[in-house]
Amino acid sequence: MPITPDDFDSQPPAASQPPAVPAAIPSYQPQPALVSPAFPAKRATPGWIKLLVILAIVIFLFSLVWNSVQTREVPSTGVVAIDTAAIDTSTVATAAVETATVATAPTETAVTETMSTPAIRLERGVRRYTSTPFHIRTSPLGPGAGAGVDMLFDSVAVRDGETLVAIDVTSDHDDMILCDHIRLVVDGETTLDSTAGLEGGRQSKFGTVQRIDIFRGEHVVLIARFPELPDDAKTLKFVLSGIDGSQDDWSWDNIELRDIAVVPEV
């Protein structure tokens, strides 16, 4: 059957086409994390917590080392050893300080006692000596023409303020002794000069020095005065200086002051 124009009007309308959709742009999709209910994801530990943990470990190790050193020193000081394993580490430093104080206390006490102990005061009174007389040469210009006299160290009187030394002189002929300078040497160190030369006997002047006449058969006790002795004095040396061309030096050594009887001065 031929197609007419009317036939176009009677044809059903063509089906509508859907709008064109642009192609999808590919994109990266991360793989889903493998998360299991039995192993939940861990949170990151803050850095300050890690620092505190490390500091606590260091303090604990230092406390153990310090405590072991103090424990080895305790027996030598006589202090009972302490079981440091049962002590809290926070008190270890305090315990160590207390142990060190106990160990050093006896030493400090001993030093204090030694420094504060005063010297035993030299006992006042008279010390008498039994010595062997010795012969000294006298001046060749004297009545004995240098024959000499015998001298005996007699005593030491220790007083407050002064010291007296006594010597006993004898001769079998007329003679004289001369005196210019007398001194005491205390413990080999301190020198005390006589304050008035020799006292006693028949005295006169021989030039510028002191002259004492000794007659045949008599005993002449001569006294020399000196300043007060130190409290810690132990020994003396008595020295009468010589005079050139007239009289030799003479002296007594090791005059004991401690280990000898002392009698009150009358």
Cβ-based neighbour number of residue 194 at 10 Å? 22
> 125-256: which CATH architecture?
Sandwich (2.60)
When comparing pLDDT for 140 and 33, which is higher? 140
Domain spans, the chain: 48-116, 125-256
**What whole-number percentage of the chain has pLDDT above 70?**
63
| Nearest-angstrom CA–CA distance, 180 and 246 | 11
3-class state of residue 56 by DSSP = helix
Q: What are phi and psi of 72, to 5 degrees?
A: -70, -30
Cα distance between residue 265 and residue 158, in whole Å: 9
- Output the pLDDT for position 76: 46
| 20 residue type, one letter | A
The yes-or-no verdict on residue 223 having pLDDT over 50 is yes
pTM across the whole model? 0.55
Distance from C-alpha of 234 to C-alpha of 236, rounded to nearest angstrom: 7
Does residue 28 register a pLDDT over 60?
no
Contact partners, residue 191, CB within 8 Å, separation at least 6:
183, 184, 185
pLDDT tens sequence across 90-128:
444 444 445 444 444 444 444 444 455 566 889 999 999
Q: How does residue 165 score in pLDDT terms, banded at 50, 70 and 90?
A: very high
Q: What's the pLDDT tens digit per position in 46-95? A: 677 888 888 888 888 888 877 765 555 444 444 445 454 544 544 444 44
In the predicted structure, residue 154 carries a pLDDT above the cut 90: yes
| pLDDT over threshold 60, residue 231 | yes
Separation between Cα atoms, residue 110 and residue 118, nearest integer Å? 15
The Cα–Cα gap between 211 and 86 comes to: 90
